[in-house]
Amino acid sequence: MNNNDKMFFTSMSCQKIMKKVAQLFKDRRKVLGMTAEEVAKGICDIKTLYNMENGKTSMNYGDLFRLFKKVDLAFEEVGLAIGYDQYKINNYCYENNIKELEKILAEKRDSPFLNNEDYVYILMISAFLNEMKPDYNIPEKDLEKAADYFMDLNYWGYSEMVLFCNTLNALKINLVILITQELTNQIEEIHRNYKKKNLFIRILINVSYACLQHHYLAQASYFLNHLGSLLKTQLNENNMFERQVFKFMKGYYYLLNGKKQKGLEMMNTAIGIFAATESFDLVERYRKYLVQAVAQAEEKLDENQKNKFGNLRLLDK
């Protein structure tokens, strides 16, 4: 399931990188004599700007680049601050430049010294390539190394959650479920952190959808309950998309549970709201998801009927 915004590309050195970028940005703002209020206006709130300047949060590309532009900070200067390699990857992901990303990936894989963190870094590039190029296959070794890294984590900070969010579609579903269940154990701490809460909502959307696709209904119900609780504590216009996606997936869940009419009504209601807000790309996308969901439900019904009749024939003998 696609996300609204591509996350700011991040590696295991994310916090160090953000601190370098933050200091560069903060220094430039002060040299220009601009207040935080002047720079943040029309882009983000003051708290988000201060957090960014202190290297405490990542931002999506759009907001970050608009802030750079306001203080006349050239991409080349940012590139020098964070390291040219990271700078190139950031830009290639943003531009969907498949050729250059594949080139960097090949260079990374040829390195003789790779640890688990490096493999997660590689996997993130691979995951973006997999979204841009559906026939791209991620090597099993990369997936195994990334899994080792996630399973060894003792603490999930914002950077680690961004990594997981950007790579979960490439990981095996059972591992994704296990990791997400571990994250739900930190739900109280996540509730207190606005950025983590928004990111966890995004993770739960993707994981719930993956569970439904694999017909893991018990797991889907568990994650949807957590998602519903988070959305209830954050009712605002900014998460209208997430609330409608939640409604769509609840309908998907009912559909797979045999409540076809109720499920279809909820799914079509969500699509209708997307249409009412003139989000026609979402209308098209979720209509395709609905068709796929109906086909999945019918296939499962046929399978159950075959099993039923097969058992009857066995009893006749």
List pLDDT tens digits, range 18-51. 677 788 888 889 888 999 999 998 888 888 888 8
On whether the 1-95 domain is CATH 3.40.50.720, my answer is: no
- pLDDT value for 260: 93
The pair of structure tokens assigned to 37 is 């209020």
Give dist(CA 101, CA 130) in Å, integer. Answer: 11
Q: Mean pLDDT score of the chain, rounded to an integer? A: 80
CB under 8 Å to 272, separation ≥6 — which residues? none
Q: Alpha helices of 61-139 — where are they, by DSSP H?
A: 61-70, 75-82, 84-95, 98-109, 116-132
The pair of structure tokens assigned to 110 is 């040829």
The pTM is what?
Answer: 0.67
Contact by Cβ (8 Å): 168, 176: yes
The pair of structure tokens assigned to 288 is 């395709």
For residues 41 and 77, the model is more confident at 41
Asked if the model's pLDDT at residue 117 lies above 70, the reply is: no
What residues does each domain of the chain span?
Answer: 1-95, 235-317
Asked if the model's pLDDT at residue 233 lies above 90, the reply is: no
Number of Cβ within a 10 Å radius of residue 85: 13
Contact by Cβ (8 Å): 72, 32: yes
The pair of structure tokens assigned to 244 is 């409608």
DSSP code at position 233: T
Give dist(CA 98, CA 246) in Å, integer. Answer: 32
Give dist(CA 14, CA 26) in Å, integer. Answer: 18
For residues 295 and 24, the model is more confident at 295
Q: Which residue shows structure tokens 């994650």?
A: 223
Rg (alpha carbons) of the chain, rounded to whole number: 22
Lowest mean pLDDT among 53-62, 97-106, 131-140, 195-204: 53-62
Question: Stretch 227-256: mean pLDDT, rounded?
Answer: 86
- pLDDT value for 179: 93
Categorize the per-residue pLDDT at 312 as very low, low, confident or very high, splitting at 50, 70 and 90. Answer: very low
Give dist(CA 196, CA 55) in Å, integer. Answer: 15
